[in-house]
Structures are given as C-alpha cells and as structure tokens.
Structure 1
Amino acid sequence: MPTSQPGAARPSPDRTTPDSLLHTRTGTEVSPEDMVLATGRDLTPRNLAWARRKLDEEGPGAIEKVLP
C-alpha cells in the first residue's frame, strides 16, 4: 500500500491554474438544484427558494461565486 513520503515534492505555486481560467459551466442552464448542491446544502424548499432568488438576481454566473 503506497503512502505519502515526507518531504515529497509539492506542486510549485506558479503552476496553479489562475482563477480566470477555471470554468464550471458546460453551456447548460444552471438549475436551483445545481446551486443548492454546489453549496453542500440539502435540497429543502427553503434552500431551493434561496437558489431561485440568487439565480434571478445574478443569473447563471451565480454558481461561480459559490464554488471554491
């Protein structure tokens, strides 16, 4: 069973992908369910209402703000 080696090389910080190049949308519409699940919340009527409001106010790009 492989284990991590102490002092093993880690990726250089300059090799990380800049935020401007990260994308989550696939060209499909973002649903309220997508928004709720992206935040790690349960699909409850209250959370779905929050997601609908968020999408109405900010559009499909709102999901970008809730993802890490």
Structure 2
Amino acid sequence: MPTSQPESSGPSEDRATPDDLLHTRTGTEVSPEDLVLASGKDLSPRTLEWARRKLEAEGPVALEKLLP
C-alpha cells in the first residue's frame, strides 16, 4: 500500500521565493577578489584587473549578475 505524505511537508513548486532572499548583496562593499571568486576564476593579477574594470563599469551589481 503506498504511503502518502501531506502536501505541507515539502516546498510547494507553485510558491515563489521572496525577493529579499534572491539577492546576494550583504550590505558590504564588493571587492575585486569577491568578483573573481564568484566568477569561479583563480585569483591572479590578470583576473583581479578584469574584476576592477568590471566593478568600475557596473558597480556592485556586477556580483549580482554572476550569482544566481
């Protein structure tokens, strides 16, 4: 005989995640190191320069664009 679980025991697929839980910002400044690590790249002078340029162009939202 199959055992059924109540619907309230698991997350509902038709419920949306609240907007405040979707953002990655913590209220602190985003450093070039943060951006490099979030992109999955190794820290190196070249990737740090890439991150500095990206932060100058896009600001802290650059980190939001990399993370889900």
The runs of 4+ residues in structure 1 deviating greater than 2 Å are: 9-13
The 5-angstrom pairing of residues 14-33 of structure 1 reads 14-17=14-17, 20-21=19-20, 22-33=22-33
Unaligned runs of 5+ in 2: 1-6
**Matched residues, percent identical?**
71
TM-score scaled by length of structure 2: 0.73
Cα displacement (A) at 1:17: 1.6
Cα displacement (A) at 1:13: 2.8
Aligned partner of 2:66 in structure 1 is 66
Kindly indicate whether structure 1 or structure 2 has the higher relative contact order, using CA contacts under 8 Å at least 6 residues apart: 2
TM-score scaled by length of structure 1: 0.73
The 5-angstrom pairing of residues 1-68 of structure 1 reads 11-17=11-17, 20-21=19-20, 22-68=22-68
The two structures, once aligned, show a CA RMSD in angstroms of: 2.0
For the pair shown, which has the larger CA radius of gyration, 1 or 2? 2
SS state at 1:13 partner:
coil
Q: Tell me the number of residue pairs that the alignment of Structure 1 and Structure 2 aligns.
A: 60
